Amino acid sequence: MARRGFFAEIQHQSRVAARDRERAEREAARRHVAAVQQTEKAKKASEHAKTQLAKAADSERKRLEKEAREAHVAAMEAEVIERNGKLERIYEEIDSLLASTLGVDDYVDLSSLRVEVTHPPFDRTDLEVPLPQPSRILLPNEPVLALPEPPSGLASFFGKKKYAEAVENAQRAHERALVEWRAACRDVLARHQKAEDVHARDEARRLDALRSERERYAKECAVLESEAADRNRRLDELVTNLGYSTADAIQEYVSIVLSNSVYPDHFQAAHEFEFDPSTAELRLRVLVPGPGEIPAIKSYKYTKATDEITSTPLSQKECRDRYAGAIHQVALRSFHEVFESDRRGLIKTISLEVGTNTIDPATGNRTYVPFVIAAAERESFLAFELSAVVPALTLGRLGAAVSKNPYSLVAAERSGVRRS
C-alpha cells in the first residue's frame, strides 16, 4: 500500500509545524490565566518564606514556618491545577477527533503548492566595502638656510672675518639639517610605502574572499532555483496525470490530503492506502495508537499529610468508552476527509480499516488488530450531517464490522461487513 509521497511529506511537515506554532501560541497565552499565575505566585511565596525563615530571629521563626508551609501547600495545589488542566486539554483533543476536522475544507488546491524562490540576502556585504586608504603622510618641511645679517658701518671693515665664520657655521648647520631632513623623508616615505603595500595585500585578500563568497552564494541560489524548478515540474506532472485520473496521481493526491490531517500528539494516526482504477475504490487503512499509549489518569490531587501529588486512574469503563469513541471518530473522519477533498468524484468508494499494531501475547510477534472494517459509497456518505451524528450509530448504518471492545484489543469480525 502507498504511504506519504513527496508533496504529502512536505505538506505534512508544514501542517505539523503550523499546528505546533498554534499550540505554542495558545500555551503562551494560557500561561497567563489564573492557574499558572497562581502557581508562579505560590512558588515565589514559598521561596520567599524559606528565605525569610533562614534570616529570621527565633521570635519570628514560628510565624515564618507557618507562612512557609502555607506557601508550599499553595504551590503544590497550583501544580495540581496545572496538571489537571493539561489532562483536560489532552482528553478534549481525543474526544473531538471528528469535530476538529469538520470546519476544515479538505480540498487541496495543487497550484498552492507551487514554490517561488525567495533568495536570502547576500550575507557577506561586509566584504563589499573597500578597505580605507592609508592616511596621507606629510613630509617634514625642508630646512631653510638662515644666514647672519652682514655687518654694517665700521664693523664691515673690521668684522669681515668674524662674519665669514658665522656664514660658514650657518652653512654647515644647514648642511647637517639637510642630511637629517633627507633621512627623515626617506623614513616617512618608507613607512608610507609599507602601509600602501599592506593595504594592497589586504585589499587583494578582501577581493578574493568577496569573489569566493559570491560564488558560494550563487551556487546556493542555483540549488534553490533547481530544487524549486524540480518541485514545480513534479507538481505539473501530478496535475496533468490527475487530469487523466491515473492511479498514481490519485494516490499522490490522497497522500497530500491525509498528510494535512494532523492528529493530536497523544493520538497520532498513520495511513496506508491503494487506489484501484478498475473499480474507483480506495482501500484505506488507518493505524492508531494502542490502548496502552493513551493517558489513563482521571485527575491529580495533592495530599497534605504525605506532601505528595498523586493520580487517580480512570475507570476501565471510562478508558474503554474514550478509546472506542476515538476509534469510531477516526473512521468517520477518514471517510470525510477523502470524500470532501475529491471534488471531481474520482473516488467512488472507500473500503476502510482502522486498527493498531501490537504484540500478540501468545506468540510475542507484532500483529495487526482491526477495530473497524467498513465501506462507504461517496454519495451516501456525503449525505450524512457529521456534526450531529453519533459515530457508533453511523458506522452501524454503514454496515461496518466494529470491535466490541477495542480497548482490550478485540478484533472486528471481517465477515460482518456489508456495503452501504
For the beta carbon of residue 141, count every other beta carbon within 10 angstroms: 7
In a domain, 119, yes or no: no
Separation of CA 361 from chain center: 39
Same domain, 173 and 226: yes
Same domain, 202 and 267: no
Tell me, what's the pLDDT at 22? 64
Q: Bigger pLDDT: 34 or 359?
A: 359
- Through-space distance between the first and last CA atoms of the chain, rounded to whole angstroms: 24
In a domain, 291, yes or no: yes
How many residues does this entry show for the chain?
420
Same domain, 47 and 84: yes
Same domain, 72 and 150: no
Residue 119 C-beta-side C-alpha neighbours within 13 Å: 13
| pLDDT tens digits for range 114-148 | 999 999 999 999 999 999 998 888 889 999 988 88
The whole-number average pLDDT for the span 288-311 is 94
In a domain, 27, yes or no: no
Same domain, 62 and 138: no
Structural domain that includes position 189 = 125-231
CA 374 – CA 330 distance, rounded (Å): 12
Domain end point (choices 80, 95, 110): 95
Same domain, 131 and 84: no
In a domain, 111, yes or no: no
Burial-class residue 309 by CB neighbours within 10 Å (0-12, 13-18, 19+): middle
- Which triple of cell numbers denotes residue 249? 496521481
Domain count of the chain? Answer: 3
Phi, psi (degrees; rounded to nearest 5) at 327? -60, -45
Same domain, 217 and 266: no
**In this predicted structure, which of 43-57, 153-167, 318-332 has the lowest mean pLDDT?**
43-57
Same domain, 362 and 266: yes
Same domain, 281 and 420: yes
Tell me, what's the pLDDT at 270? 95
Domain end point (choices 211, 231, 251): 231
The whole-number average pLDDT for the span 266-288 is 96
In a domain, 8, yes or no: no
In a domain, 352, yes or no: yes
pLDDT classification of 419: cutoffs 50, 70, 90:
low
In a domain, 151, yes or no: yes
Same domain, 273 and 326: yes
Same domain, 286 and 406: yes
Closest to 312 measured CA to CA, from 297, 295, 294: 297
List Cβ neighbours of 304 (8 Å cut-off, separation of 6 or more). Answer: 73
In a domain, 346, yes or no: yes
| pLDDT tens digits for range 157-208 | 656 788 888 889 999 999 999 999 999 999 999 999 999 999 999 999 999 9
| pLDDT tens digits for range 359-407 | 887 888 999 999 999 999 999 999 999 999 999 999 999 999 999 999 9
Domain end point (choices 76, 95, 114): 95
Task: Judge whether residue 293 has pLDDT over 60.
Answer: yes
CA 350 – CA 339 distance, rounded (Å): 9
Same domain, 136 and 221: yes
